[in-house]
Each structure stands twice: as structure tokens, then as C-alpha cells.
Structure 1
Amino acid sequence: MPSKIYGVNLGSWLVLESWMLPQEWLDMGGQSCSDCSTCIADEFSFAKAFPDTVDAIFKTHWETWFNQTDVDTLKSLGINTVRIPLGYWIVEQLVDRETEFYPRGGLEQLIRGLGQLHTAGIVAILDHHALPGVQTPNQMFTGHCTSDVEFYTPPNYQRALVWAGVMTALSHLHPTFASVFAIEAVNEPIMDAAQTPGYGTYQENFVTVVRAVEAAIGVKTQGLDNPQATTNASQAILNFSSSQNNTRINSDVKTALGTTANILAQIASDENTQFDLRGSGSGQASLVTNFMDVNWQNDNPSNPAAAAWGPQGYDNHLYYVFGGVAAADPDDYMDSICNLNRVQADATLGDSPLWFGEWGLPTQFDATDEFLQEWADAQKLAYSKGAGWIFWNFKVEHSTLAGNLSREWSYIDGVRLGYLTEDPSAVHNTSVCAPFVDNS
């Protein structure tokens, strides 16, 4: 993990959000509608509508939306971290093909991209952005825009645990995953904790699965012994699961470990390689488990800090453009951001280190160029009080249909237009907040 995160999201790459590339989406065969649940506006509806061509169409998208040119650009801009939104369907064995519809081939693209990032010296967070059963209603970012939210159920918690197990194993065993330092459990769960039953138990099981897989493949894990007598990773995970008496390794975790081992063997077969443990896990650092912070939810939420076992980080997202944060006025925006206390508030509850995994420049009013530069500076200064920041998004489509979207949503364009500094650790004006800070 970098000493300070200066990052961007690779949004719309492996979880496509059609609002960010409206012309390409239409060219692919998708549709545009005001209610994304009523037309072909997401990956699920697209794959359902075009089962015979979806894989080839998405392969073209994956290869063009994020590639070596983008990696070179991000490196030149001093970006040290990327957050990669992923759907559960990147582990294809988790998809019920009778009722769920998603493109195949994403894992190959993730392997390709992580290799390019690793060569460039850019580290990665694997963000479980779109969960089995859908974790938030009526959002493109879940991969299936629907009001039918079923993630918070035992079967889908179980699939998410398996996803975590597979990603953990690959992060330690697959050479191109060497850039991965963290795995995020759930992107933006429902904010009302009363609507997310079982989420606290899932948090603990998520961490336990990550640590159990690590221990099984030889990563030193406090409180867990490694009884492996094999060099085969899948068998080592199975052996480990059957030998453990640790109370955290409950029946749900053991089931997830068994399924993880089986899927890992299938991936090894598909990749035409064996994940050999000799020299793979031993000596490697534990992954950072990552959650949206406790203050993301209201109504007596569970605190993910209670689930910590080994290194853990916390994520907060802040967008003013959607309302509810400050009045739609430049001075109110600056007054709010310059007195932001989220880092301190989280730390008092044990949610530290905290990084801001999504933010941008959009506003509820017509912002001048001068204001957007001040707005960028003020946000960077606020978020840098924590572990750092990750801008949404690395880029946005340039087209007549997209209009001025990229002006406020694209990091690359933000630098080009002068709102964001070429050195991500710098700001234009270190005193930008001076007129707004409440010193009382």
C-alpha cells in the first residue's frame, strides 16, 4: 500500500456504466432511457438480449476502453493506485446461466490489465463493485439495474465469499496479480442498515475467508497454522479447511473455501497452468481487506473495524452533485469541504486508515473554470488528511452525445484543462481553504 494513495477508478472497464460512454453503448447495440431498468442500459440486459454476440462485443470494449496507452498516461500523471470495479461474474463459475446474464472473458482482460499496471509500477485495489443478487437498487454500477435487491441473503453472501477467496488466491499466486494490495468487499451497500440484514456477519466472514486462503497457501497469518502437505494450491486450501478448529472458520467459511478450491483448479486448467505453492505464498504480505466505512450506513450499522484481522482499510465516497451534502452554491461547497471531519470521525470508531475511493468535480450548478480548480484543490487537501484519494473516473467518452461529461468526471481531462495538477500530490493553492476554515 502506498504511503499516500493518489489514484483513479477504472470505471466502465470491467463493469460497464453506459452513462459514461453513451455513444459507444448505442454503437454496441445498447439503448438509452431515463429509467435504466426499462431498457438495455446495463450488462445484464445486454447479455440477455444478445446472447450470441455479447462476448465478442464486450471483448472489443474491454480492449479499447483500458489498454497500454491509458496505463502510460496514468503513469505520466503520477498516479500510483487504481481501483478496479469488478462484477461477481468475472468469476464465471459463480453465475447461474439460467437466470443471470453477463459477458464471459473478463478475467482474461483483468489479467492483461494487471500485468500492464504492474510493469508501470501502479498498484491496484480489486473492488467488488457489483455483487451477486445486486446490493443497491436501480443502479447501473451493479451490472443489473433493478429494484429487486437480493444480495443480503445467505446464498448470495456465500457467492460473494467465494469471489473473495478466488481473488485472494489469484492475488498471491498469479504473477500478473502482483500489483494487487487490497480487496474491497462491497461497493456502496444500501445506506440504511435496517435493509442489509446479515451484513455484519458477512464482513467478518469476508475477512476470515481472505485470511484462511492466505494461511492455506503459506502467507503468515496470526492465529492460523498452515498444515499443508502439498504444493498444489487448490488441495492446500481443501486440506486447510478440513483441519481448522478456529471459531472464526465457521461452516459458511468452510463451504466458501471448498468452492474456492474447486474454482481455482478450474481456472488453473483454463489458464493451462498449475498454481504451485513453492515460493508463492511464503514471505508475501497479507492483503488489505477493505470496506466502506461504518459511517457510510445509518440506523445502527455494524462496524467493519470489528471484523479486522490483519491489515484493513476503509473507503468513503463523497459526491456533492447528487445533493444532501451542501447547498447548491460555490461558497457552501467550499465551506463544507474545507471543514470536512470524516477522517477524524472514522478514526474515533476504529475505521482507519481511511481513503476516499470515489469523488469528482461535478456540481449542482454551472461551475466556472476558476471554481473547478479551487474545488479540485480543496477536495484533494481534505481527502489527503486520510490515506489518500481515488478519483472517479480515469476517463469519460468524448462525443457529441456525452457533451461536457468529461470536464468534471475525467481525471485525465481534469489535468489537461488545468483543474487538477500534473503532480497529484500538489495543489494550485495551498491556502484555498483559508477563507472558509472554521477555527472556532
Structure 2
Amino acid sequence: MRFSLLSLSALFSGTAVIAGSMPSKIYGVNLGSWLVLEAWMLRKVKWLNMGGESCSTCSSCIASEFPFAQAFPDTVDGIFAGHWNTWFNQTDVDTIKELGLNTVRIPMGYWIVEQLVDRTVEFYPRGGMVALIRGLGQLQEAGISVILDHHALPGVQDSEQMFTGHCTTNVEFYTDANYLRALTWAGVFTGLTHLHPAFGSVFALEAVNEPIMDAAQTPGYGTYQQNFVSVVRSVEESLGINVPSSQASSSNATQAIIEFSNSNQNSSRLNPTVQTALINAAIILAEIALTKDTEFDLIKSARGQPPLTTNFMDVNWQNDNPPNPAAAAMGPQAYDNHLYYSQGVADPTPEAYMQSICNLNRVQADAALGNSPLWFGEWGLPTQFDATDEFLSQWADAQKLAYSQGAGWIFWNFKVEVSTLAGNLSREWSYFDGVKLGYLTKDPSQVHNASVCDGFTTTS
């Protein structure tokens, strides 16, 4: 799209944006499989009915969004529009609110910013931004805070994972070209958060969901962390946010971001990668603002809004001398850890699980390295053994008590498929069903038994 930056002054005037704020204690759920579909959560019925496939190795069949879009290029957009409107809607928002939850984490793929997709070699559904705007408006109306999570990165950040949007062994995120696309994504969403009315309850932007745990396999990731924060803060400074000395003289956000990047003062302190990402993001923001169904007012003032909280997986997520994301912090920053005992955290017995969780020191260990506040952005009730109803209630209590030592917790997932073919999947993975079954308390701030760890805690 070609346009004059000066012509943007003709854009319509919108509703004032009210910036989101981080709850004093996070009690939340993930909106998993909404904007990044993970077939394992709905594959027994819904995914197969959509046209997807089920296989033991997800890269060998149509088990993620990329091969689906590649197989059904003419119908994928309509099929996914139907999925987006049914998997998460007003009924789900009402349930989240009724259950007393105050936060949702929204996993997204880079392809939601359609300008970042190379459609000669990359295949994803289009229209996700419209669905996101609809959902954010509903969440804002309900007073629910939002974390926007870059869940699936350009080039794929981990091998053979449905959550990357493309089950493949070809991992290419950790390259200059894909780092640049991810930084542009960050600039776009920083601008949208401060300028689009629907984004008013967003308070945090997560840079990368679950990078490879071995830091030796993620070259350049530390530099990316620093550049991510620089992009977010540069967009905010260009808009006059939380920067008393900023004059933000331009008449619209696109001009402000470009002028900020190109100014003599800032061009000397911003590296070329950040500058390029800022200019790319500014142009994409203008295109989104001028597009029907996503349009917003680029001329709106963002002054007085609080800055976004930048968010990274904590330093202890990786091993082999990982970069510490605390070194990148400028302004509010928070850290995320995911803990699934079903993946081998402890021996597969109820006693070992309780011994481990009741002595968990992740919050303290992270704080010692500057990774605070820490929230637990993914956890659930699945186990490696046949858990009784009684144990799942204890297991829910013990995890909530452990994770509440930090900034709070976000359960994976708000719901999963409920069907005869899906069996007991929802019993351990669905927050909604966990409450119905009595494992999770109706008030998320409470537990069934505050003494659940008695007899398991050690004195060391």
C-alpha cells in the first residue's frame, strides 16, 4: 500500500484509550488454541471436522496452522474465522469474569501482523487481527487485564511444537532476519496498545514464548532481548509516554515514530536493527489504521498512559550460560516461568510431586538474579500417573500456594475440547472444568486447604 504520511490526519477520531495496569496479584487463564491453534486440545472432534489430521509426530501430517493453510489455501481464512468466533467469545468472557479471574494471557503468532508474512513460502490464515480486536474489546468491557504473548515466532522458535504454528524440525527464529520481524511485531503491538481503543486493558507484552532451553542453540537471543525493550520504549517515547522531556511534535503516531528513529540524537543511540524495526512498525501501524475493521486514530495523544510491562521467560528457563533478561530492562519489566510436572519435573508419584512443589524456590532463585516480579504463565493439573480426584484438589492447592509467592499465576488453559473421544483431557487441562469438578476453588485467591503442604516442606 502506498500512501502519504501527511494524509493520515484525515483519520477518524476514536474513543479515548485507557491503559491497562498489572493486577496486584495475577489470577488468570491462557486463551490457548484461539489465535494460535494447538490441535491436541481439540483434535478429536473440532480439528478433524475443520479438515485437520492427527498423527503421532506432528510434523508428519496436517497438525498445525501452517500445513493446514498450505493444504486449504482457498478456504482457510473462512474456516479459521469460524474457529476464532466459536472457540473464544462473549460466553467465555462472562465465565472468566464469573470465576473471579482478573487476567488473561493471549498467545499469538507473528502472522497476526499479516505484513510480516512471506506468502511465497509461509502459509497462515488471515483475519486474526479482527478477531483479536473483538476479543480485547469484550475483555476490556469485563474489566479483565491482558498480557499479549508472542507465542509463535517467525521462523519457529522450537522444534516439533504445535504452539509455534508450524510443526517442523527446521528452527530458524534465531537469525537476524527473523529477529527483525519479531522486533517489528513488538513495535506494532506497542503502538496498538497505546493507540487502539480495544487494547485498553493490555498491560504487558511478552517477547518470546518458550525459546529452546539450551542457550547454546539460541545465538543472538540476548541481543534480541535488549533490542525488544529498545523498540518498545522507543515507540512509547516517540508517543510521549512516561518521558517528561519528550515533545512529540508530529501530528500522528506514524510520523512521530519515524521522526524519533531518524533524529540525529536517537540515530546515534539506536542500533540499525532497532531503527529499521521502528520504521517498519510505523508503516504497518498506518496500514492497520487505514484498513476497514481494524482502523483506529493515529492522531490520538498517548500522553499520560503508563508504559507497557516488557515480559520475558525468566533466566532460569534456559541452561548453558543463558543471557539474563534483567540486563535489558528499561522501565517496568516482569518475568515468566512455565512448570508442567507431567513433563518430568519430579518422579511420577503423588509424594514426589508434593515434595517438589511444596519446596519450590523459583521465585526466590529468580529474584536473586534480578528476575522479579515473576509470574507463572503456564501450569496445569496433568500428571504422569493416574491421579485421584482427592489428589488433584491437593495438587491444585499446592501449586496455587507456590505460584502465589510471586506475582501470581495463569492456568493453561481456559478450556479444552469436551467430547467422548477426548476422554479425560478437560479434567486436568481445563480451568472451567477444574472448577466444575471441584479441584479448583470458585474464588481463585483461595485454596481448599491452606495446610496442604504440611508434612512435605523441609527445614532447609
Does the CA contact (< 8 Å) of 2:197 and 2:296 recur in 1? no
1:31 and 1:368 mapped to 2: Cα distance?
32
2:39 and 2:331 mapped to 1: Cα distance?
37
Q: CA deviation at 1:227?
A: 4.5
The reply on whether 1:336 has 2:356 as its aligned counterpart is yes
Q: Which residue of 2 aligns with 1:297?
A: 318
The reply on whether 1:430 has 2:432 as its aligned counterpart is no
Secondary structure, aligned partner of 2:335? strand
Q: Which residue of 1 aligns with 2:334?
A: 313
Q: Which residue of 1 aligns with 2:418?
A: 398
What is the one-letter code of the residue matched to 2:251? Answer: T
Q: Which residue of 2 aligns with 1:282?
A: 303
Secondary structure, aligned partner of 1:189? coil
Q: CA deviation at 1:250?
A: 1.0
What is the one-letter code of the residue matched to 1:118? Answer: Q
For residues 387-410 of structure 1, what are the alpha-carbon distances to aligned partners after superposition, in whole Å with 9 as ceiling and x for unaligned? Answer: 000000000011122111000000
User: Which of these residues, 48, 55, 64, is aligned with residue 26 of structure 1?
Assistant: 48
Q: Which runs of 5+ in 1 are unaligned?
A: none
For residues 345-375 of structure 1, what are the alpha-carbon distances to aligned partners after superposition, in whole Å with 9 as ceiling and x for unaligned? Answer: 0000000000000000000000000000000
Q: Which residue of 1 aligns with 2:208?
A: 186
Q: Which residue of 2 aligns with 1:234?
A: 254
TM (normalized to structure 1)? 0.98
Quote the RMSD (CA, aligned, Å): 1.1
Please give the residue correspondences for 1:150-169 in structure 2 after superposition, counting only pairs within 5 Å: 150-169=172-191
Does the CA contact (< 8 Å) of 2:289 and 2:298 recur in 1? no
Secondary structure, aligned partner of 2:28? strand
User: Which of these residues, 246, 268, 271, is aligned with residue 250 of structure 1?
Assistant: 271
Q: Which residue of 2 aligns with 1:11?
A: 32
Secondary structure, aligned partner of 1:59? helix
Distance 1:400 1:116, change over 3 A: same
Distance 1:255 1:227, change over 3 A: farther
Q: CA deviation at 1:277?
A: 3.6
Q: Which residue of 1 aligns with 2:18?
A: none
User: Which of these residues, 418, 435, 450, is aligned with residue 415 of structure 1?
Assistant: 435
What is the one-letter code of the residue matched to 1:374? Answer: Q
Q: Which residue of 1 aligns with 2:385?
A: 365
Does the CA contact (< 8 Å) of 2:204 and 2:310 recur in 1? yes
Please give the residue correspondences for 1:139-158 in structure 2 after superposition, counting only pairs within 5 Å: 139-158=161-180
For residues 312-339 of structure 1, what are the alpha-carbon distances to aligned partners after superposition, in whole Å with 9 as ceiling and x for unaligned? Answer: 000000000011x110000000000000
Which stretch shifts more, 370-379 or 243-252? 243-252
What is the one-letter code of the residue matched to 2:180? Answer: Q
2:381 and 2:374 mapped to 1: Cα distance?
20
User: Which of these residues, 203, 207, 218, is aligned with residue 225 of structure 2?
Assistant: 203
The number of aligned residues is 436
Q: CA deviation at 1:265?
A: 0.8
Q: CA deviation at 1:260?
A: 0.4
Q: Which runs of 5+ in 2 are unaligned?
A: 1-21
TM (normalized to structure 2)? 0.93
The reply on whether 1:381 has 2:428 as its aligned counterpart is no
Q: Which residue of 1 aligns with 2:124?
A: 102
The reply on whether 1:71 has 2:93 as its aligned counterpart is yes
1:425 and 1:341 mapped to 2: Cα distance?
20
Q: Which structure carries more relative contact order (alpha carbon 8 Å, separation 6+)? A: 2
What is the one-letter code of the residue matched to 1:415? Answer: V
